[in-house]
Structure 1
Amino acid sequence: MIVHTLRFAFKEGTTPEQQDRVLALMRRTASVESVSFAAVGQSLGDPAEGLTHAYCVGIEDLTAVERYMYDPVHLAGDEEILPHLARISIGPDLSDDMTPDLGARLMALHERKAAAHPEWAAQLAPLVEMRIA
C-alpha cells in the first residue's frame, strides 16, 4: 500500500463556497477505483505552517498509482482545484512496500505525467513543495 498525502492552503479571497467545491472535487478524485481509502478535510499539522487542509489516499501499488494519476476524474478535478490553491505540500508519502527505490519510482511516475501534461505541470509547479518520500 502506498499512502499519498498532501496538505494545502487556499488562496486568499477563496470563498467558503469555493472551498467546499474544491473539497468536494477532491473527495470525488479520492473515490476513483484505484483508491483503497481516503480522507479529505482539515490539516491537523502545525498551524504556523499555514497549511489548513489535507488530502490523503491509500493506493494498492505502483500500477494503481499510475491509473490514479491518469484517471479522467483526477485530471478534470485538478483543472478546477489548482486555481484555488495558494500552496501545496506533497508528502512525505509512506508505504508498507519495502522496495528500496519505491520513492524514486513514484517520482518517475510524477515526472512522466508532468511531461505528458505540461499545462498541468506548469500550473502545479509554483504551488508545490514536494517530498515524495
Structure 2
Amino acid sequence: MLRFAFRDGTTEEEKERVLTVMRRTAALDSVSFGVVGQSLEPHGGFTHAYCVGIEGLAALDRYMNDPVHLAGDPEILPHLARLAIGPDLCDDGDPGFGDKVMALHERKAARYPEWAAQLGPLLVTDA
C-alpha cells in the first residue's frame, strides 16, 4: 500500500501519466490484484493511493526488481510531494514477516542507491 500526494504545480496531465505508470506496475505478473486512484479517506494530506496484492516474499522480490517497476519510479517520484509505504496488511502469520519485507527493501536500496536517494526525502513514517 502506498499513500501519496502530488507536488504543488503538478498538472492534471502529469498526474494522469503518473497514475498510468502506476497502473502498468500494478499489472505485473507478480501482482495478484492492484488498484490505483484517489484516496477516499485523505488523512495526513495524502490524496491518492496505490494498493497491490502480492503472494509471498519471492513474488515481492520479483515485483520490486522487475524492469517495468524500476523504469516507472523515475517517472513517478519527481511528481510526488510525500509518500507513505506499507506493508499495511498481511495474511501470513509469521511475526517477523514485516522485517523480511524491510530486508527486501534495504537490499533494493543498496542495489539502487540513486533510487533510494530519490525516495528518501519523500517518505513519511508517521502517517
Aligned residue in 2 for 1:100? 95
More strand by percentage: 1
- Deviation string 1:10-34 (CA, Å, 9 cap, x unpaired) is 0000000000000000000000000
Q: Compute the TM-score of the two structures, normalised by the length of structure 2.
A: 0.95
What runs of 5+ residues in structure 1 fail to find an aligned partner? none
Cα RMSD of the aligned pairs, angstroms, is: 1.2
User: Which segments of 5 or more consecutive residues in structure 2 lack a partner in the other structure?
Assistant: none
Q: SS in structure 1 opposite 2:34? A: strand
Provide the C-alpha distance between the structure 2 equivalents of 1:36 and 1:130, rounded to a whole number of angstroms.
26
In the TM superposition, structure 1's runs of 4+ consecutive aligned residues that sit over 2 Å from their partners are none
TM-score normalized with structure 1 length: 0.91
Indicate the residue corresponding to 2:4 in structure 1.
8
Matches within 5 A, 1:104-123: 104-123=99-118
For residue 46 of structure 1, report the CA deviation from its aligned partner: 3.8
- Among all aligned residue pairs of Structure 1 and Structure 2, give the percentage whose two residues are the same amino acid: 67
Q: Distance in 2 between matches of 1:92 and 1:125?
A: 17
- Please give the alpha-carbon distance, in whole angstroms, between the structure 1 residues aligned to 2:120 and 2:35: 24
| Greater fraction of residues in helix | 2
Q: Compute the displacement of 1:92 (Å).
A: 4.6
For residue 64 of structure 2, what is the aligned residue in structure 1? 69
Q: Map of 1:1-133 to 2, 5 A cutoff? A: 5-47=1-43, 49-130=44-125
Count residues with an aligned counterpart. 126
